[in-house]
Structure 1
Amino acid sequence: MKKRILCLLICAVACAHAEPPGGGDSAFRFSTVAEVQRYLAAPPDEARPMVRWWWFGPAVVKVQLEREMLAMKQGGFGGFEIQPVYPMELDDPARGIRNLPYLSADFLDAVSFVNQKAHENNLRVDMTLASGWPYGGPHVPVTEAASRLRVAPVTLPAGADSVPLPPIGSGEKLVATFAGAGDARQFDATRLAMIAPVLANGRAQVPPAADERVVVFYIASRTGQQVKRAAVGAEGFVLDHLSRTAIDHHLRQVAEPLLKAFGDQPPYAVFSDSLEVYGTDWTDDFLAEFQRRRGYDLTPHLPLVYGGQGPDAGALRRDWALTQTELVNERYLTPVDAWAKQHRTRFRSQTYGEPAVSLSSNRLVALPEGEGPQFREFSFTRLATSAGHLYGRNVISAETWTWLNSPAFAATPLDMKVEADRMLLQGVNLFVGHGWPYTPPGAQEPGYAFYAAAVFNNHQPWWSVMPDVNAYLQRTSYLLRQGEPANDVALLLPNNDVYAESKPAKVSLSAEMHRHVTPVVMEQILDAGHNVDFLDDEALRDSGKRYPLIVVPHATRMSVETLERLIKHVRGGGKLIAVGGKPSLAPGYLDAAAQTKRVRQLSDQLFALPGVSVVTEEGALGAAVGKAIAPDFAVASQAASIGFIRRKLADGDIYFIANTSNREVRTSARIAARRASAAWWNPHDGSVTPATVRPSLELTLAPYESRVLVLSDSASAAPAPVASRIATVADLGGDWQLSFPGAGGALAQPRMLTRLTSWTDDPATRYYSGIGIYSKTVKLDAAQLQAQRLTLDFGLGTPLESSPKVPAGMRAMLDSPIREAAVVYVNGQRAGAVWHPPYRVDVGKLLKSGDNRIEVQVANLSLNLLAGQERPDYRLLWARYGQRFVPQDTHLISPRPSGMLGQVRLLSETLQ
């Protein structure tokens, strides 16, 4: 046995220093409970959260870059993604501010320096293959810029035999011309006929007619979109993601110089942000590619596609949109991923948005990444995690905390946990925090902030608990990489219907899928005691993963091949529920009548099988799910508040369970998995205590509390504890000394408080951001120390009903009794951090008979300091570089309550 453990440890160490396998798998991925528990107390560094590191300008200097990297490591982050963005200041030699043009020698030298220092400090480095987003820049000529089809109608007066051509500029080309009844303001697209006018001297010659008509020109054009938030020297067109020529040019001009700066130590991954190529729906050879793939010429049908009229418009648009997905897959995702592999790195991609990539497009990238905490709705995050589950990408990241508790500097550690838990519930197991703003030396506190993001660097006073926050995120990420994903329900995304509903200049599966995968559909499945993966036609065909239950929400168009696979799924013992009705139409246009006939035959055949049902009303889905398969984790009450996700081990199961609400939950849960024993694995400190799950699991969860339950085939050596009796040992609500060492002067001297109030109530500390030290001496006798557990309790917090002042993102809907975090010391020793409910710290091991010195170091927000300052004047910056950003929600900047505000008590806990 000792030899086996030694071999496992040697293997783990070797794996930690080896190149991780393709697909972003984890070197520390285990299959048994004992193996997983071995790293519970000290999870591997690869599970640490990362941050997006914004380089503004970029005006960076090496000494500060190194300082910030070391601060990241000290705070528990495992690495960073370099993201050069817009300038924050003009060049100022007196202050050492110099904006380094993107891809200049000085900029690339800074990249090389950071890479070297990151490797010395065991920090992961990812590099964005562009500045800002989407990919593009000054190297993109108009002929390679993001493309669209422009529709230009012109009224042809009665008897006229020519009309002026619409202006056709650089990068544009006339594709087709149609004529018919109507005028430029209103016409029936189904009655237009394609014509071939003679073009001369800027006019189109057409046969005259007695009535007024419309001539409609279809012009291959460009969106004109510019790179968003570009660094100095990175301005330019967004490139055409459907063009291999444009992608190859970008890789040569941008990606190659960037990778050379890394020398013989390439970045762990290269990154692409979400696809936000607004307005694109075309590329230069679209018609030829369409005919090759779909089997017919789209040209005669352009009026129906771009006008949306007629019974065939939906089928035509489905084919038109699907072709765009295929092109972006083959010409963007595939070559960039291949390029990354060729350069000994990996492609990390947020594969959603515009153009219309699909769930299965994620199979083409090594590291899928999501965004969005919408656990109980359709979300981009679940697209990425589902693709990971389907295609064997075990490590799945998410851009996290975007727009968290706006404005900047308002986010708290609890806010971080609330959003992170919703990411974990969707299957995320690597956090990329959004983010870390580089701040130059000498900048006025609290430093820089990205225009639309929270700040998670050491300019926040609550940085003192960042190691504790990151330890929680690291441990939960590690645990949710173990074994195999175990969701029993899959939602088959009706891609064909969404394609058919697509509109010109707005072709996106992810942006429109919520019309079919509604919040009610998601809630009904989750509240029935299941977590859920998304599935699409390609994954059903290719992934090899099978689910006990497939739910088909509001699907009308379905291919013959998919229906045949669903029949095979049911005949193999699987269940199926359709929401809204049965599929009844062929997906596309070619041979639609015959295909539709076959679709209806197969649909009738499928829905005649045992185990298949239709629910016409979404609200009936939960009952149908419960009838089809037994719940995995069924709570007796308050189901909407409780989320869970399960990972299956060879000899056990890992359940991450979270109260996603701002109120305490008291309920019980029935667990389908049958194992010999159960234990709670504390995600904050790695401690383990026995649990009882039969006949049911009793659950008491504080607001936003999360736990990890592990079931094992091995019998437990210790009995599970029963309910505790809690009593108050001492009320510590008054007579604290408070000082502000960071404020200097009189504020640094201790003063006595008879009651606990917010620092903002005092004009002297209204705009103070930093740490306030509360201290007092508590006398205890030996009898008071006999309890099995002694905790310092700071109160419950106050639930908020609504938060109208946060226009974007999310926040914890709870006013904490500690604003916003604290570190507790007892008799000079660190007892723990306080930043999330329940607001308690175990202090029993540090207390003694007699006098005990208790010190609570409370940290608030940098927002308070910011509130006492004038907003920056960007007038000259914008005059020089253009208005590349607008800081979000600055009108909401005001001092927030600060300090220790709850009922502080010393509690004893005795097991009954």
Structure 2
Amino acid sequence: MKRKIAAAILCASMVMNLGGGLPVLASEEGNTGIGIELTEFANPSKQYQPGVRWWWPGGAVEKETLKKEIDYLAENNFGYVEINPFYLSQALEGDEETAKSIYTPGFYELLDYAVGYCEEKGITVDLNMGSGWNANSQYVTYEETMGNMALGRVTVTAEELRNGVDIPEAERSVFYVGDDARGEWQDESVKLQGILVAELTGETGTEFAEREGLFGSVPAYTEVYDAEGNVSKEYPAQVVLNLEHSYYLQADETMGEGTVTLTDEILGSLDDTKEYEVIAMYYVPSGGTGVDCEPEWYVADHMDAETSADYINDWLGDANMKQILDSHSNIRAVFNDSYEFYSDIYYTEDMAELAADAENNGLGYDFSKYLPTIYKQYSAAPFYMGLGTSDTYLTYTADAGEEARIQYDYNTLVNQKFQEGMAAFQEASNGYELLYRQEAYNPPIDTLASANYVDIPEGEQGDEMSLIRTSSGAHLYGKNLVTCEQYTLGCTPLMNTLEQVKIGYDNMATSGITNFFYHGLMYGYGVDSEEYGEMGWTPFPTTGINMSERNSLSPYFGEMNEYASRVNYLMQQGSPSKDVAYYMPFNGSLSETDAVTAMNSAGYAWDAINDDSIQSEDTTVSEDGTIVVNGGNMEYDAIVVDSASVPVATMEKLQAMAEQGAAIIFSGAAPSAQPGWADGNYAEEDAKVAAASEAILSASNSALAEDVDTLKTVLAEKVTPKVSYEDNDQVRFARRTLDNGAELVYLRNIGEGENTITLELKAGYGECYWLDQSTGEVYAAEKDGDTITVTLEASQDTYSDKHSMAIALICEPEGTEIAAEELTEGTPKAFADTSEGETTELTVDSLTVGDTTYTDQVLGKWNSDDFQGGALKTSADTGIYHATYTLTGSLDGKKAELSLSNVYTAATVLVNGEEAGKLMYAPYTLDITEYLTEGENEIEIQVTPRKYNKINPEAETLVDTGMEGPVTITVK
């Protein structure tokens, strides 16, 4: 009963959190009427704290260590953990079986303890769906694994066809054969689905050849294999089939004798001068497994709704798991990582049936005879592996554009099956009062529409456009909580600077992410062992960030998480506020196009929008021309279409919207084609798109913008942002409309230098305030009419090539103010300080590292051979720099600011023995006024280096450590 009561409260909270703005919380003194709760902003509660993926070495965990790590997480402001029992490549002696023992009675006992202690500490738990990724468990059978297609082929004459040809046996791909095989073949599960008989044109297409991939050479994949693993045939080049003389036969009982049986009509059409390809199409389970603890655990078929639901019910319905769910109220969601499957193509058993269903397959025609021409070897593998045939083995056309159209239609079928699978995962998870969190991308799917079937959509890594894609889907489908797996690839463990991490927080905020998970807290397994060394086990060397207490920078994580929590709090309030919807084609991606550049530099907030949302019955146009999407989930002033190819149904809806007064803007050129094959009738469908474009441009509120400047002009005529900024190509921002009508802006300078930004406010806002996410303090913003001008400092990261200096602004409605006593005088640190003062450069007289004190050549990079003879090149110990500062007379209302230059990587400052603050990211300045006394003052700067050099002493390039200076104090 405890679980049900708590879950009801949790689910009610989550529904509010996911579907709309959180309520404005009341302070002890009562609600002030402003758009946010100031005490919550200053000290966000656990629900706004970031999460971390907690990697467990399979089942080789102990309660004592679990408790220690949960205490560490709670003390350092982590609000969520995602528990992922992962594959342990090298178990310590005696742990060989324990490491593989997951979801066993012993493992459940440990999981119950961890969840319970997290609950005690206020930490919310998400459970990874199985071990590693993707969803797998001991319950998934071979028949329930991700599906695959296999072909059997034979080339024959017309005469041979008339005399009867044996149905070709299924040929095995390299996916099932050899030392590197990722699949499993069981003859009894191979099912014939159809036979294609096609006349050969005599042409060949792509010649298959070995090529270079990301991880070395990629084979040509010209060979197929028999049951013994021997090469049975070679297909050196793509074969071109005659579409007009191709015949697809559904598998039925007439094929039971193993012979291809053709109708009299087909037999009569055969040409004795031609050869024919007989292609048998088979369904076969992939037998694919994940990267997980148990190599025999299969990955469930994510394209099959029944299998997806069964997976959840088997896993969560287990008596041991159910006991945990019923006993604790802090398990929020089940999580499935990014779709990274291995098979030849994306396929599932009933896909052949869907392909034949012209009324319901989204294509309007029978796609059956095209299915065999999609087949490749090893193409349904993660893109970064660089695997797979360079082209299909069979084709009806050597024209690359036409091939792309056929591929597009196949992708439409794949998308439908994946969406069905996600819907089943969601419904089944919700049945256990849990949410479904998913990274839905990589296969050919509508990444935006996926948010409709995911309770917590999740992105990954730091690419701005990829994150906007994820958050756009969430906005379109009414999900307020959007998470991100962060600092994954493109980062190197222990090389990360805190500046880089902070830039990540800012980037996520302006990209629409409202909370996130660090990619790595590694359970302390094998620490200081011969097998794993000082840092202990890690799931793989490229885990992008190490959030454990063994990281030398861990003393700063708690304060870093305070920054992140304030940002998360702000970005979860109210609802997203956008001006423009930017059309993103199905299975497309976002990039810095001219249209995107124009919107970003001209100060327009935008989302991506998909075909599904445009075509929806619930997407309408209001009397004033506002575009209301998916029943009111989002509203936009305009839709920008920057694609030459758009589906007919989408164009027809855009035309109808334009005729109702919606602003439809074509960027570059008007669409003139649609992406599908249309059973070969694509030219006719293309003409419909061209006609719709013409009709749209004849509407009064639509326009064609052929270049960036014209697009900016058109947007200025048709879009009225609540808050915008004057043209500036080094700015990113995000806006939220709060429940009281206030507008919240998260603003950042992405340039390498200081950036003066002029904000333009819609009439009707009263007082505005700066919200400093670094400190939780609030400052009055100075308005000049309906503008605010601010100059933001630049960041100074020495590791990444990214920049960000950010601040939040809240513009309240007329008559709503923050009480003066709640405000801090002055301006936030992120602002460039142009005031004059008297600057003193301090003489740093000593550096103490461990038991050694240096008094000569104190400032410099430790990683240099020239610094102290290279004695500190691989040190990870804190360096204590000492200086004195003499204050003559009283400060008398003036401010004394300490400034550090070229500090690697973080510093704690003590003045006269009292801690004055930490410096973790730019600007490396600290107000030390209250700590100074007249006369001589002792200044101690404790600089913490990254641990990379110590762990990797033989690295070709060591990271910068130490401090170069100068160190100054400015009184102003």
TM-score normalised to the size of structure 1? 0.82
Change (3 A) 1:262 1:901: farther
Match of 1:705 in 2: 805
Shift of 1:824: 1.3
Could you tell me which amino acid in structure 1 is paired with residue 197 of structure 2? F
Indicate conservation of the 8 Å contact 1:58/1:86, yes or no. no
Question: Gapped runs of 5+ residues in structure 1?
Answer: 1-13, 496-508, 741-746, 796-816, 870-891
> Is residue 349 from structure 1 mapped to residue 438 from structure 2 by the alignment?
yes
Could you tell me which amino acid in structure 1 is paired with residue 880 of structure 2? I
Tell me which of 3, 7, 15 is aligned to 1:21.
Answer: 15
Indicate conservation of the 8 Å contact 2:140/2:297, yes or no. yes
Indicate conservation of the 8 Å contact 1:575/1:628, yes or no. no
Indicate conservation of the 8 Å contact 2:448/2:469, yes or no. yes
Change (3 A) 1:35 1:417: closer
Match of 1:247 in 2: 308
> Is residue 457 from structure 1 mapped to residue 542 from structure 2 by the alignment?
no
Give the superposed CA RMSD: 3.4
Change (3 A) 1:864 1:524: same
> Is residue 374 from structure 1 mapped to residue 463 from structure 2 by the alignment?
yes
TM-score normalised to the size of structure 2? 0.78
**Which is worse superposed, 259-268 or 346-355?**
259-268
Q: Distance in 1 between matches of 2:248 and 2:970?
A: 86
Match of 2:332 in 1: 268
* 1:132 alignment partner, SS class: coil
* 1:538 alignment partner, SS class: helix
* 1:411 alignment partner, SS class: coil
1:82-121 to structure 2, matched below 5 A, reads 82-93=83-94, 98-121=98-121
> Is residue 608 from structure 1 mapped to residue 698 from structure 2 by the alignment?
yes
Match of 1:405 in 2: 491
Tell me which of 322, 330, 333 is aligned to 2:412.
Answer: 322
1:762-911 to structure 2, matched below 5 A, reads 762=868, 763-783=870-890, 785-786=891-892, 788-795=894-901, 817-868=902-953, 894-909=957-972
Tell me which of 268, 279, 299 is aligned to 1:217.
Answer: 279
> Is residue 284 from structure 1 mapped to residue 349 from structure 2 by the alignment?
yes
What's the CA shift string for 1:392-418, capped at 9, x where partnerless?
A: 221211111112532x22112111112
Match of 1:503 in 2: none
Shift of 1:145: 2.1
Q: Distance in 2 between matches of 1:731 and 1:691?
A: 32
* 2:103 alignment partner, SS class: coil
Tell me which of 601, 606, 612 is aligned to 1:527.
Answer: 601
Match of 1:124 in 2: 124
Q: Distance in 1 between matches of 2:612 and 2:125?
A: 33
Shift of 1:271: 0.6
Change (3 A) 1:601 1:867: closer
> Is residue 177 from structure 1 mapped to residue 196 from structure 2 by the alignment?
yes
> Is residue 727 from structure 1 mapped to residue 830 from structure 2 by the alignment?
no
Q: Distance in 2 between matches of 1:152 and 1:832?
A: 70
Match of 1:166 in 2: 169
Match of 1:30 in 2: 24
Shift of 1:250: 2.0
Shift of 1:41: 1.5
**Which is worse superposed, 433-442 or 454-463?**
433-442
Indicate conservation of the 8 Å contact 1:652/1:710, yes or no. yes
What's the CA shift string for 1:634-653, capped at 9, x where partnerless?
A: 5556x332111111223422
Change (3 A) 1:461 1:567: same
Could you tell me which amino acid in structure 1 is paired with residue 554 of structure 2? W
Change (3 A) 1:780 1:25: farther
Q: Distance in 2 between matches of 1:739 and 1:753?
A: 11
Could you tell me which amino acid in structure 2 is paired with residue 217 of structure 1? I
Indicate conservation of the 8 Å contact 1:109/1:261, yes or no. no
1:200-599 to structure 2, matched below 5 A, reads 210-211=272-273, 213-222=275-284, 224=286, 226-231=288-293, 233=294, 235-257=296-318, 258-265=321-328, 267-278=331-342, 279-290=344-355, 291=357, 293-294=360-361, 296-302=365-371, 307=395, 309=397, 317-330=407-420, 332-375=421-464, 378-379=465-466, 381-406=467-492, 408-440=493-525, 442-443=527-528, 444-451=533-540, 452-453=542-543, 454-495=545-586, 509=587, 512-514=588-590, 519-540=593-614, 541=616, 542=618, 543=630, 544=632, 545-560=634-649, 563-564=652-653, 567-568=656-657, 571-585=660-674, 589=678, 599=689
Shift of 1:628: 3.3
* 2:897 alignment partner, SS class: strand
Could you tell me which amino acid in structure 1 is paired with residue 196 of structure 2? T
Change (3 A) 1:220 1:526: farther
Indicate conservation of the 8 Å contact 1:176/1:299, yes or no. no
Q: Distance in 2 between matches of 1:901 and 1:97?
A: 51
Q: Distance in 2 between matches of 1:344 and 1:103?
A: 20
Q: Distance in 1 between matches of 2:807 and 2:928?
A: 21
Match of 1:757 in 2: 860
Shift of 1:38: 3.8
Change (3 A) 1:626 1:43: same
Question: Gapped runs of 5+ residues in structure 2?
Answer: 1-7, 26-32, 172-186, 203-234, 376-394, 619-629, 796-803, 828-832
Indicate conservation of the 8 Å contact 2:655/2:695, yes or no. no
* 2:484 alignment partner, SS class: strand
Change (3 A) 1:768 1:826: same
Q: Distance in 2 between matches of 1:567 and 1:788?
A: 64
> Is residue 68 from structure 1 mapped to residue 69 from structure 2 by the alignment?
yes
Q: Distance in 1 between matches of 2:580 and 2:604?
A: 7
Shift of 1:344: 1.6
**Which is worse superposed, 772-781 or 592-601?**
592-601
Q: Distance in 1 between matches of 2:347 and 2:514?
A: 36
* 2:66 alignment partner, SS class: helix
Shift of 1:493: 2.1
Q: Distance in 1 between matches of 2:762 and 2:419?
A: 40
Match of 1:505 in 2: none
Shift of 1:494: 2.3
Indicate conservation of the 8 Å contact 1:274/1:352, yes or no. yes
Could you tell me which amino acid in structure 2 is paired with residue 49 of structure 1? P
Indicate conservation of the 8 Å contact 2:167/2:280, yes or no. no
Shift of 1:486: 0.8
Shift of 1:47: 0.6
Shift of 1:554: 0.6
Q: Distance in 2 between matches of 1:339 and 1:349?
A: 14
Shift of 1:315: 6.0
Change (3 A) 1:165 1:733: farther
Shift of 1:158: 8.2
Could you tell me which amino acid in structure 2 is paired with residue 818 of structure 1? V
Could you tell me which amino acid in structure 2 is paired with residue 700 of structure 1? L
Indicate conservation of the 8 Å contact 1:564/1:602, yes or no. no
> Is residue 190 from structure 1 mapped to residue 293 from structure 2 by the alignment?
no
Change (3 A) 1:597 1:759: closer
Match of 1:9 in 2: none
Change (3 A) 1:18 1:172: closer
Shift of 1:753: 4.3
What's the CA shift string for 1:713-760, capped at 9, x where partnerless?
A: 33677799697423244211431x3223xxxxxx32443245402233
**Which is worse superposed, 711-720 or 690-699?**
711-720
Q: Distance in 2 between matches of 1:752 and 1:225?
A: 65
Indicate conservation of the 8 Å contact 2:241/2:396, yes or no. no
**Which is worse superposed, 896-905 or 722-731?**
722-731
Q: Distance in 1 between matches of 2:255 and 2:432?
A: 49
Q: Distance in 2 between matches of 1:338 and 1:791?
A: 56
Match of 2:771 in 1: 681
Q: Distance in 2 between matches of 1:654 and 1:369?
A: 23
Identity among equivalent positions (%) equals: 21
Tell me which of 625, 632, 654 is aligned to 2:744.
Answer: 654
Q: Distance in 1 between matches of 2:497 and 2:476?
A: 35
Q: Distance in 1 between matches of 2:431 and 2:557?
A: 37
Tell me which of 844, 847, 854 is aligned to 1:738.
Answer: 847
